[in-house]
């Protein structure tokens, strides 16, 4: 495992262009994660709005 980590650092050190080329794919992945989180938050909010219990006037007295 330590050897693989060392090889990864050496690949970045000797070929920084490969890291720059992969920034596009990392950005697309982060945008996809943010989009999915937004969809899940939206669905949760809608379910909470439609299925939450309403307080009656009788409960307040």
Q: Does pLDDT of 61 surpass 60?
A: no
Distance in angstroms (rounded) separating the CA atoms of residues 58 and 53: 14
Query: d(Cα 57, Cα 61) in Å, to the nearest integer?
Result: 7
Write out pLDDT tens, residues 4-52. Answer: 777 777 766 777 787 788 899 999 999 999 999 999 999 999 999 999 8
More confident residue, 20 or 61: 20
| pLDDT on residue 15 | 74
- For residues 49-61, give the mean pLDDT: 72
Confirm whether pTM is higher than 0.75: no
What is the model's pLDDT at position 56?
A: 66
């Amino acid at each position: 495992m330590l050897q693989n980590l060392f090889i990864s650092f050496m690949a970045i050190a000797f070929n920084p262009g490969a890291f720059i080329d992969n920034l596009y794919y990392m950005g697309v992945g982060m945008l996809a994660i943010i989009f999915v989180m937004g969809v899940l938050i939206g669905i949760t909010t809608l379910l909470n709005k439609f299925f939450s219990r309403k307080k009656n006037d009788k409960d307040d007295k």
